[in-house]
Amino acid sequence: MPEQFLTLRQLEKRFGEATAVDRIDLTVDKGEFVAIMGPSGCGKTTTLRMIAGLETPTSGEVRLRGRLINEVKPWLRDTPMVWQSLALFPFMSVLKNVEFGLKMRGVSAAERRRRAMQWLERMDIAALANRDVSRLSGGQRQRVALARALVTEPEILLLDEPLSALDAHLVVRMQAELIRLHRELGITFFYVTHSQSEAFAMASRVVIMNQGRIEQTGPARQVYRTPATRFVAEFVGTNNILRGSVVSVESGCARVSTPLGLLTAVALNVHPGEAVDYVVGADTVSLAGAGASAENSVRCIMVSEQFFGSVVTVYAEAEGIELRMQKRQHELSAAALEPGRPLELCWSAQSAFLLRTKS
Amino acid sequence: MSLRRIGTVLLWCYVVTVFAFIMAPIATSFIVSFNFDRFPTLPLGAFSLRWYQDIAQDPMLPPAFRNTIIVGFTVSVIATTLGFAAAYTDYRYRFAGKQVYLALALLPPTIPVVILGLAMLIFLTKIGLFGTLKAIIISHIVVCLPFAMALIRLRLSQMDQSLEAAAWNLGATEWRAMRDVILPFTLPAILAALFITMAVSFDEYAIAWFVSGFQETLPVRILAMFQGQVSPRINAIGSIVFTITMTLVILAQAILLLRRPARAPD
């Protein structure tokens, strides 16, 4: 059983009338890579700032290694952060930036220079030690920010959307770098982002927040495959969501009446007559034809298609409702897809599931 | 010649004319200050330093000059310190009535100096400071503080919002962050504020005239001299004062420009 390293209990932060974080509970183990994800204003950054001590909780608890730290000043915590803006000190050299944390802890000049240089070498930027930070590229600045935060050898690293300012190709490289660092250091990474791809690419556990509350926590795969709430289903991945009501439940399979007719899905704790959201992932939808499951099929009209890398999303419409199908391009190349043409989409009951509609 | 080129030439002529109008009287004063003749006429008389020697021997001028220096230094240090504090308060804190606070802090230069001077005179007499250097210093701080605050506030507004919190986050106490992050970042503006406030105090005549009594500052003395007689000594003093003031202002400008971070060449 890993040590309960960071615990948030009924943590709440209000700014005047507005509630930024609404009594959340979260436990993070030592060495975990947790990503908090959600739309802007969902409270994820406020949560991070409360862990760093930059905001004082309105109520609830922040515990680090069991110790209550609600009121502990930020400079007395060892919770370094990589900022969205990076917040490098512009009037200092790269080396001085990295030395800063050690200097504040009273480490001798020779020793802090040695340790800072070690980190610069580790981050592959030793050659830039005496460079002015304004004369660095985006990727280099990122490395300086990481070295500066990690030089004091903390047990947790807080990251506030650190990759949001980088070019797409650098983001992928820095992600690999972060994964490597996390593996090598074995410390806790607490990563705040609004980007699904970042969260899913790196984190061992994903926390989805919305309007100050935690909607779902779990491994990336679990959150992606079985969203717990309609919000998560809409926010994560590409899902088709239909309102409906359960007609019957037989041997783990539910028949649901939706605007697109009777559809089947895996039934978990639902009863006939219940109002539900019927969710089917766009990537589990196929074109009807040889080999495709016909448990659920819907005739619709193709509207458009959108390419993203090797993945294509096909938008279709039936009864005024949009349905989306996501496939790798080569899987669809044979099919004649043209806007305006009818097509039949189908999926298995196994790939669809139900969410109880909140009353 | 294209229309565009004509426009450029006209614009240059205009700029040169404007500067000529501004600089001509000062330049004349400079030139005439080295002229031997009592009354300047063209062609100029022989080159001479007699007016400078004259003022060096004037018994009233050294104390006035000394007063101006003392007042200038004290005012620049105190006004810049207070200006920094006011600017930092604005930067760091949110509080009710902040707009009023800002308006009040930046108000003094908009008040007519005669009114400000008269008010100062009445107030300082009431508290028994009339006619002392302290009176001039206090009045000048009031006038100079907004300049210092505006300069430092501008610099703080260019600072990354997270910079101070980043210092705390790395283990710096509030004082340490102030010393190691805020002050180094705002240093160019602080130096500029020191020079500008000194220049403003050095030049300020009207309020000093109201409150100084017998502790005349240089501008007050110059005007007193001027009232009795028109002497070419005025030109000599004017040249010195102008040079000192301009040096201060140019230094302030240079610091602000030079300390701007260099852009990466790549």
ipTM of the predicted assembly exceeds 0.90: no
Residue A336: its pLDDT value, please?
63
**For testing the chain B interface, which of A46, A91, A141 should be mutated: the one with the most B CBs within 10 Å?**
A91
State whether B169 and A73 contact (CB < 8 Å): no
Q: Cβ–Cβ of A87/B180 closer than 8 Å?
A: no
Mean pLDDT, chain A, rounded, equals: 88
Give the whole-angstrom CA distance, residue B202 versus residue B55: 18
On chain B, the residues whose CB falls within 8 A of the CB of A152 are 170-171
Q: Could you give the CA distance from residue B240 to residue A125 in angstroms, rounded to a whole number?
A: 53
| Closest partner CB to B169 (pick from A74, A85, A92) | A74
Residues B64-77, mean pLDDT to the nearest whole number: 92
Q: A73 and B264 in contact by Cβ < 8 A?
A: no
Decide if A270 contacts A301 (C-beta within 8 A). no
Asked if B162's CB is within 8 angstroms of A85's CB, the reply is yes
Q: Kindly tell me if the per-residue pLDDT of B263 is higher than 50.
A: no
Q: Which of B151, B213, B163 is nearest to B187 (CA)?
A: B151
What's the pLDDT at B1? 61
Return the percentage of chain A with pLDDT > 90, whole number: 48
Query: pLDDT band at B148, cuts 50/70/90?
Result: very high
* Pairing between β-strand A188-193 and β-strand A156-160 as defined by DSSP bridges: parallel
How far separated are the first and last CA of chain A, in Å rounded?
A: 38
**Is A101–B170 a contact, with Cβ atoms under 8 angstroms apart?**
yes
The more confidently predicted of residues B45 and A45 is A45
Q: Please give, rounded to a whole number of angstroms, the shortest distance from the CA of B188 to a CA of chain A.
A: 11
Which residues of chain A approach chain B closer than 8 Å at the C-beta? 52-54, 73-75, 78-81, 83-85, 87, 89-92, 100-101, 103-105, 132, 134-137, 148-149, 152
Does B94 lie at the interface with A, CB-CB under 8 angstroms? no
Unique residue bearing structure tokens 């614009």? B11
A100 and B172: CB-CB below 8 Å? yes
Nearest to A236 by CA among A288, A268, A193: A193
Question: CA of A97, closest CA in chain B: separation in Å?
Answer: 10
Instruction: Spell out the residues 6+ positions from residue B218 whose beta carbon is closer than 8 angstroms to its own.
Output: B61, B64, B65, B67, B68, B202, B237, B241
Six-digit token pair at B193?
Answer: 């504020």
Say whether residue B172 is in contact with chain A using an 8 A CB cutoff. yes
A4-230 architecture in CATH? 3-Layer(aba) Sandwich (3.40)
**Pairing status of strand A33-37 against strand A205-210:** parallel
Residues A287 and A291: their CA atoms lie apart, in Å, by 10
**Contact state of B176 with A132 under an 8 Å Cβ cutoff:** no
pLDDT score recorded for residue A45: 93
CB B262 within 8 A of CB A132: yes
For residue B64, the domain's CATH number is 1.10.3720.10
pLDDT at B4 over 50: yes
B166–chain A Cβ distance below 8 A for any pair: yes
Which of B169, B183, B258 has the most A C-beta neighbours within 10 Å, making it the best mutation to test the interface with A? Answer: B169
Residues B179-193: pLDDT tens digits?
Answer: 999 999 999 999 999
Contact B173/A at CB under 8 A: yes
Q: What is the pLDDT of residue A307?
A: 84
Does the beta-carbon distance from B168 to A75 stay under 8 Å? yes
Tokens of A298: 């819907």
If you compute the radius of gyration of chain B from its CA atoms, what whole number of angstroms results?
Answer: 23
Cα three-residue angle B192-B198-B200, rounded to 5 degrees: 100
Tell me what the mean pLDDT of segment B158-181 comes to: 94
CA-based nearest residue in chain B for residue A148: B170
Q: Which pLDDT score, from 0 to 100, does residue A94 have? A: 95
Q: pLDDT of A65-92, one tens digit each?
A: 989 999 999 999 999 999 999 999 998 9
Give me the pLDDT at residue A284, please.
86
> What integer pLDDT is reported at residue B265 of this predicted model?
36
For residues B33 and B47, what is the distance between their CA atoms, to the nearest angstrom? 9
* A120-140 per-position pLDDT tens digit: 999 999 999 999 998 898 889
Domain membership of residue B84 (yes or no) is yes
Q: Which of A114-118, B40-44, B109-113 has the lowest mean pLDDT?
A: B40-44
Confidence of residue B174 (pLDDT cuts 50, 70, 90): very high
Q: Which residues on B lie below 8 Å from A134 (Cβ)?
A: 261-264
Domain boundaries, chain A: 4-230, 238-356
Q: What is the mean pLDDT of residues B6-31?
A: 91
Tokens 């007063």 locate to B67
**What would the DSSP string read from start to end of A98-165?**
HHHHHHHTT--HHHHHHHHHHHHHHTT-GGGTTSBGGGS-HHHHHHHHHHHHHTT--SEEEEESTTTT
Residues in chain B with CB shorter than 8 Å from the CB of A162 are: none
Q: Say how many domains are in chain B.
A: 1
Could you say which of B167, B184, B263 has the minimum Cβ distance to residue A91?
A: B184
Report, as ranges of residue numbers, the positions in chain A whose pLDDT lies below 70: 1-3, 290-293, 333-336, 358-359
| Residue whose structure tokens are 């699904």 | A196
CATH of region A238-356, choose from 3.20.20.70, 3.90.1150.10, 2.40.50.100, 3.40.605.10: 2.40.50.100
Q: At B74, list the tokens.
A: 């004290």
A59-68, B37-46, B47-56: range with lowest mean pLDDT: B37-46
Residue A130: C-alpha distances to residues A135, A358, B139, B176 (Å): 11, 58, 46, 23
A327 sits in which H/E element: strand A321-328
Range of the structural domain that residue B179 is part of: 54-258
Pairwise CA distance, residues B251 & B231, whole Å: 31
Counting residues of chain B whose pLDDT is more than 70, the rounded percentage is 96
Q: Which of A54, A105, A137 sits opposite B171 (nearest CB)?
A: A105
